[in-house]
Amino acid sequence: MTTTTLTTSAARTAPRLRTPRRHSVARPRRSPLLTALTAIVLLYSLVPLAWLLINATKTQEDLFSSFGLWFGEDFSLWENITTTLTYDDGVFVRWFLNTVLYVVAGAGGATFLAVLGGYALAKFDFPGKRAVFAIVIGAVAVPGTALAVPTFLMFSEMGLTNTPWAVIIPSLISPFGLYLMWTFAAEAVPGELLEAARIDGAGEFRTFFQVSLPLLAPGIVTVLLFTMVATWNNYFLPLIMLRDSSWYPLTVGLNAWNAQAATAGGEAIFNLVITGSLLTILPLVAAFLLLQRYWQSGLAAGSVKE
Amino acid sequence: MNARPRHLVRGTALAGVLALGLAACGGGDGGGSGSGGAAAPVDTGDVLEEGGEITVWAWEPTLEQVVADFEDEYPNVTVNLENVGTANDQYTALQNAIAAGDGVPDVAQIEYYAVPQFAISEALTDLGPLGADELEGTFSTGPWNAVHSGDGVYGLPMDSGPMALFYNEEVFAKFGVEVPTTWEEYLEAARTIHQQDPNAYIANDIGDAGFTTSMIWQAGGQPYQVDGTDVTIDFAGDEGTATFTEVWQQLIDEDLLAPVGSWSDEWYQGLGNGTIASLTIGAWMPANLESGVPQGAGKWRVAEMPQWEAGQHTSAENGGSSLTVPAASENAELAYAFVDYATNGDGVQTRIDGGAFPATTADLESEEFRGTESEYFGGQKINEVLADSAANVVEGWQYLPFQVYANSVFNDTVGQAYVSDTTLTEGLAAWQEQSATYGNGQGFTVTE
């Protein structure tokens, strides 16, 4: 006992003598205040999630009669899930598939366009580049909600409202994604590499696909995550574009379920709304966990000079 | 503003209200060029025989069955029933469609308080010439007045919400509280309940525009006067408003109202566990209690809503909606035939069976309807109370032609009385000012 204490204390004091007041990544300084603050932030972000998880296991009656952050009398998670999936002729499944369609086509397309555009803007010189820059930055500042109604009127002229196109086409444009890709490509793809490839006789397409694209992977994943989250959570645009509930994404559909409780003669289905919300966020959680690796390296890119 | 030619002012009002401040561009096709154009009443039989396809935007749940029956009876007609969203969401969608001049439904559900807004912007077909003019006396007074704007009839009443006091008899008995017949007694009852159990309240209220206007309505107030584009808003000098605020301010000051928003999960919880002991609300409430508060079965009862003066029998409307035919509908006659069926024909009984509360006097007065015993309400013949209330609605109430906007800023103004030192009177003054500013901006001439 005594020896261990001695050695550990010796080990603790030894480096401190040599390198006073230095804290490496491996040996971070401990701050109770920071730890406490982090803990609060952690609680703040996890409690709603826990609430959602716990309350998805309750029946409607338990929801009203039991404590919010603990389980009710019946554990009816499976029953809630099956009811959610079958309620109103299984419309939830339809909404889920719609959302997947909008995300694959919208977010996938937006990422594709952002990569092409960002790369071109970063690596090619052409007149008017500064103007493009100004427009992109300006576009980042305009919230999508502000554009929703003008977009609606325009799409209505074209006869595209109340079709999936009305949700997919506006989702294809991601000024922030373009800007991110632009700055990322400027840092991650060295100009010398491109020159070398060109000297070796590679065409622009080959240079892009074989040389640049692998280098851009972390940036692409980052943009993909951003656009995915934006499209998955998109609410206002589909709300005003779509009238046929069979084309609703999950967000608008769940809101319609929630509104039932406030309708004369409507059935309150809070348990299904909660379970539906849980099912709605699961794919996003999965995407984050799976793509986390790329996402992290993406964020750190360019932070250290090599 | 006053120097502008009259028709121009009116034109701006129309365009502005139509777009609800969202988008005044596009559209511009104005009043739908008098679609249908029928000057003679529609022979619904012929129209239905000929058939066709109509789109109905409504969120009312019992309409599903009505549409199914309707299609069975008239196989040549196809009805696309779409739930575009509840209340405000639907109005936004409707206004957008009208502005875009595309995708406007043939029939739209619109709540009574919002009817003037759509009617004055000429977004709706006047159903009078189509046959509605002959329906005088078919519907109870409150809803029938509500679908009128100027000389036109802009919808047919689908349901109605004459107010009544819904109370949890078990809770009242537990605290030894008599059912209040006046608002003074109600205030006493609120004190008794809250004194005995700090968690229990006689009612919930965090500021609800529809409730407040209905209460002022019952007290005989007429803060809104509308004549075309000339609008008067006056809460300060309105006696009914003063009567209401005097009592309600005391409930707020003494913390006698549960700080819970209606229709939230907390609200349903309170109604179920007895911490919210009563509701003064429209007659459509029983269906919601049955489905949303199953624990309350057998405990709830209905009584006449408390009176401002003992011995009176007055009430007001709260909620309720009509079926309208947008002016841009290309099939107005068929649309009218459906509206007629749903509000005045066989659809009424279907909807009553589904738990809706009718607006048709024949049903409200029928022995069968009045005599129905409600199991949820311990076998009470609740329709007697509710139908009597429908007959006692105070006449002369008007909503603003921009009530949807006004209600959207209610919580920023009057709602402050519930959470700060602001009084209801001050809150109402702020509400009046904001409503007037908006109205003037939309081209109305608002006098305060």
Tell me how far the alpha carbon of residue B337 is from its chain's centroid. Answer: 23
SS3 of B325-360:
CECCCCCHHHHHHHHHHHHHCCHHHHHHHCCCCCCE
Cβ–Cβ < 8 Å for A244, B82: yes
B292, HSE (Cβ side, Cα atoms, 13 Å): 27
B37 or B336: whose pLDDT is higher? B336
Interchain proximity B61–A61, CB inside 8 Å: no
pLDDT confidence of residue B27: 34
In the DSSP assignment, the letter for residue A163 is S
As separate numbers, helices (DSSP H) first and strands (DSSP E) second, chain A gives 15, 0
Give the mean model confidence (pLDDT) for residues B90-111.
Answer: 92
A243 — phi, psi (to 5°)? -115, -30
pLDDT confidence of residue A295: 63
Map tokens 């003679």 to a residue.
Answer: B40
Cβ–Cβ < 8 Å for B340, B44: yes
For residue B363, count other CB atoms closer than 10 A to its CB.
19
List the single residue in B85, B87, B284 with the smallest CB-CB distance to A265.
B284
A256 → chain B, closest CA residue: B85
List the single residue in A149, A239, A244 with the smallest CB-CB distance to B89.
A239
Chain B residues with beta carbon closer than 8 angstroms to that of A153: 23, 25-27, 96, 99-100
Q: Does A162 touch chain B (CB under 8 A)?
A: yes
Q: Does A11 touch chain B (CB under 8 A)?
A: no
pLDDT in tens, B252-284: 999 999 999 999 889 999 999 999 999 999 999
Interchain proximity B284–A157, CB inside 8 Å: no
Interchain proximity A264–B288, CB inside 8 Å: yes
List the single residue in B61, B103, B320 with the smallest CB-CB distance to A263.
B61
A276 vs A95: CA distance, rounded Å: 11
A298, HSE (Cβ side, Cα atoms, 13 Å): 22
The pLDDT confidence band at residue B3, using thresholds 50, 70 and 90, is: very low
Cα-only R_g, chain A = 26
Tell me the one-letter amino acid at B414.
V
Asked if the interface predicted TM-score (ipTM) of this complex is over 0.90, the answer is no
List the single residue in B84, B102, B356 with the smallest CB-CB distance to A265.
B356
What distance in Å separates residue A185's CA from the closest CA in chain B? Answer: 39
Interchain proximity A65–B273, CB inside 8 Å: yes
Chain B residues with beta carbon closer than 8 angstroms to that of A161: 100, 102-103
Give the mean model confidence (pLDDT) for residues A28-45.
Answer: 91
Give the mean model confidence (pLDDT) for residues A37-63.
Answer: 92
Q: Does A259 touch chain B (CB under 8 A)?
A: yes
Interchain proximity B268–A243, CB inside 8 Å: no
pLDDT in tens, A61-107: 888 878 888 888 889 999 999 999 999 899 999 999 999 999 999 99
Instruction: Indicate whether A235 pLDDT > 70.
Output: yes
pLDDT confidence of residue A5: 43
* Helix or strand holding residue A16 (H, E): helix A2-18
Instruction: Indicate whether A135 pLDDT > 70.
Output: yes
The pLDDT confidence band at residue B22, using thresholds 50, 70 and 90, is: very low
pLDDT confidence of residue B28: 34
Instruction: Indicate whether B294 pLDDT > 60.
Output: yes
Mean pLDDT, all residues of chain B: 90
pLDDT in tens, B351-406: 999 999 999 999 999 999 999 999 999 999 999 999 999 999 999 999 999 999 99
Residue contacts between A and B (CB atoms, under 8 Å): 115
Instruction: Indicate whether A170 pLDDT > 70.
Output: yes
List the single residue in A61, A153, A263 with the smallest CB-CB distance to B86.
A263
3-state secondary structure of B111: strand
The pLDDT confidence band at residue A300, using thresholds 50, 70 and 90, is: low
pLDDT confidence of residue B23: 36
Chain B residues with beta carbon closer than 8 angstroms to that of A265: 60-62, 284, 287-288, 354-356
Give the mean model confidence (pLDDT) for residues B110-122.
Answer: 94
Instruction: Indicate whether B1 pLDDT > 50.
Output: no
Give the mean model confidence (pLDDT) for residues B309-337.
Answer: 95
Give the mean model confidence (pLDDT) for residues A192-213.
Answer: 89
The pLDDT confidence band at residue A299, using thresholds 50, 70 and 90, is: low
Which sign does the torsion angle of CA B429, B434, B440, B443 carry?
negative
pLDDT confidence of residue B7: 43
What is the maximal distance between C-alpha atoms in chain A? 84
Interchain proximity A268–B291, CB inside 8 Å: yes
Q: Does A82 touch chain B (CB under 8 A)?
A: no
pLDDT confidence of residue B228: 87
B129 or A68: whose pLDDT is higher? B129
A100 vs B200: CA distance, rounded Å: 46
Interchain proximity A267–B61, CB inside 8 Å: yes
The pLDDT confidence band at residue B98, using thresholds 50, 70 and 90, is: very high
What distance in Å separates residue A155's CA from the closest CA in chain B? Answer: 9
For residue A151, count other CB atoms closer than 10 A to its CB.
19
For residue A116, count other CB atoms closer than 10 A to its CB.
13
pLDDT confidence of residue B241: 97
Mean pLDDT, all residues of chain A: 86
User: What percent of chain A has a predicted confidence (pLDDT) above 70?
Assistant: 88
Interchain proximity A256–B93, CB inside 8 Å: no
B331 vs B241: CA distance, rounded Å: 43
**Shortest CA distance to B122 belongs to which of B39, B203, B31, B212?**
B31
Interchain proximity A264–B319, CB inside 8 Å: yes
Burial class (CB in 10 A: 0-12, 13-18, 19+), B8: exposed
Tell me how far the alpha carbon of residue B345 is from its chain's centroid. Answer: 21
What distance in Å separates residue A303's CA from the closest CA in chain B? Answer: 44
Q: Are strands B156-157 and B278-282 parallel, antiparallel or unpaired?
A: unpaired
Cβ–Cβ < 8 Å for B116, B145: no
Give the mean model confidence (pLDDT) for residues B159-166.
Answer: 96
Q: How far is CA A161 from CA A105, B78, B181, B213, B443, in A?
A: 17, 22, 53, 37, 30
